[in-house]
Amino acid sequence: MNDKKFNAAITAVGMYVPDEVLDNKYFESILDTSDEWIVTRTGIKERRKLSNGATSDLATEAALDLIKTHNIDPKEIDVVIVATVTPDMFFPSTACLVMHNIGAVNAWGFDSSAACSGFLFGLQTATSLVESGRYKKVLLIGADKMTAISDYTDRNTCILFGDAGAAVLLEPAADTNTGIMDTVLHCDGSGANHLNMKGGGSLNPSSYETVDKKWHYIYQDGKAVFKVAVVGMANVAAEIMERNNLTADDVKYLVPHQANLRIIDATAQRMGIGREKVTINIHKYGNTTAATIPLCLCEYYREGKIVKGDKLVLAAFGAGYTWGAAYIRWSI
């Protein structure tokens, strides 16, 4: 069904989290909530906040970490994709700002909007660009400054989110036995009312009214999203295993989007794998939207837990609704 000669493969990783920590005690001091409620219902203990700066700064730091660690010449980067729902501005793209900051003077690029599935959607886009044979180095960054759109008077949402950026470089692999093996991606716009930010776009341009109504913050019907996220993420992980003939034993790690530990556990259970085979850092960073998956990849790789040849299943669910999975054979 497929006559491609080589895959795209992740050949470098980088990450950045700001120093400022907001722990659950902080939220106890400003809201009617408790560490116990937050940990039991979500798995989150603390998250990071970027007080000065924007998403482009998170993305730039992550990209520079990748460039320095793996000795990459930014002039050789062909394309930069930034997956984000918190761009610095509507335009220009955050990708343009990042390219300028890192000296990727020969690149073109763009922002990609698929919320918590943003990294997976970007991964398929970057993979296609590499597999086309036309581009050799595609930098994919997942970065979100979620604290910029969090309402710190709404206990339903603000405790969930944090700020981070993480990056991967995609290059041609030697063959089709390693790298990005497969992806499955889905969208269902009927979920738009349950998870969104209503204000500031062409539907509700910024006004005193949109500010009064708090439409410049995240709105989430947590219960409604939870129900579909559990089913969506578990189903899509099972789907990618099935169509690649993967058994639970084959998979070294499930690398899930970090929105809620209960959603992560449900997905692992559906795949028939235990917690020890799931990458988890939600307790440290909360939900960083497009950054969660590359952040996990980078941390687990640097800790020596993910090694060359490992079979990984990535899975995410987010606003849109958007959801998907990827099967990767790790290449570095």
Query: What is d(CA 228, CA 221) in angstroms, rounded to the nearest whole number?
Result: 11
The stretches of 70-216 forming alpha helices (DSSP H) are: 94-102, 118-131, 208-212
Please, what's the largest Cα pairwise distance for the chain?
Answer: 59
Q: Are 65 and 16 in contact (CB under 8 A)?
A: yes
* Residue 116 C-beta: closest distance to ligand UT7, Å: 4
Cβ-count burial of 69 within 10 angstroms (0-12 exposed, 13-18 middle, 19+ buried)? middle
- The contact mask relative to ligand UT7 for 210-239 (x = CB under 6 A, - = no) is ------------xx-xx--x----------
Cβ-count burial of 249 within 10 angstroms (0-12 exposed, 13-18 middle, 19+ buried)? exposed
Query: What is d(CA 127, CA 292) in angstroms, rounded to the nearest whole number?
Result: 19
Output 101 or 156, the one with its CB closest to ligand UT7.
156
* Residue 269 C-beta: closest distance to ligand UT7, Å: 16
Decide: is 42 part of the binding site for ligand UT7 (CB under 6 A): yes
Output 74 or 318, the one with its CB closest to ligand UT7.
318
Task: Report the residue from 260, 267, 279, 288 that binds ligand UT7 according to the rule CB under 6 A.
Answer: 260
DSSP-based three-state secondary structure for 247: coil
Decide: is 317 part of the binding site for ligand UT7 (CB under 6 A): yes
Number of residues in contact with ligand UT7 under rule CB under 6 A: 20
Closest CA to 315 of 162, 180, 117: 117
Output 54 or 229, the one with its CB closest to ligand UT7.
229
The reply to whether 296 belongs to the active site is no
Catalytic annotation, pick one of 7, 96, 116, 296: 116
Decide: is 152 part of the binding site for ligand UT7 (CB under 6 A): no
The reply to whether 193 belongs to the active site is no
* Residue 24 C-beta: closest distance to ligand UT7, Å: 9
Catalytic annotation, pick one of 7, 24, 194, 257: 257
Decide: is 322 part of the binding site for ligand UT7 (CB under 6 A): no
The reply to whether 287 belongs to the active site is yes
**Strand ranges in the chain using DSSP code E only, listed in sequence order:** 8-16, 20-23, 46-49, 79-83, 108-112, 138-145, 163-172, 179-187, 195-196, 219-220, 253-256, 311-318, 322-329
- The contact mask relative to ligand UT7 for 283-302 (x = CB under 6 A, - = no) is ----x---------------
Active-site residue set: 116, 257, 287
Residues that bind ligand UT7 (CB under 6 A): 33, 37-38, 41-42, 116, 155-156, 159, 222-223, 225-226, 229, 259-260, 263, 287, 317-318
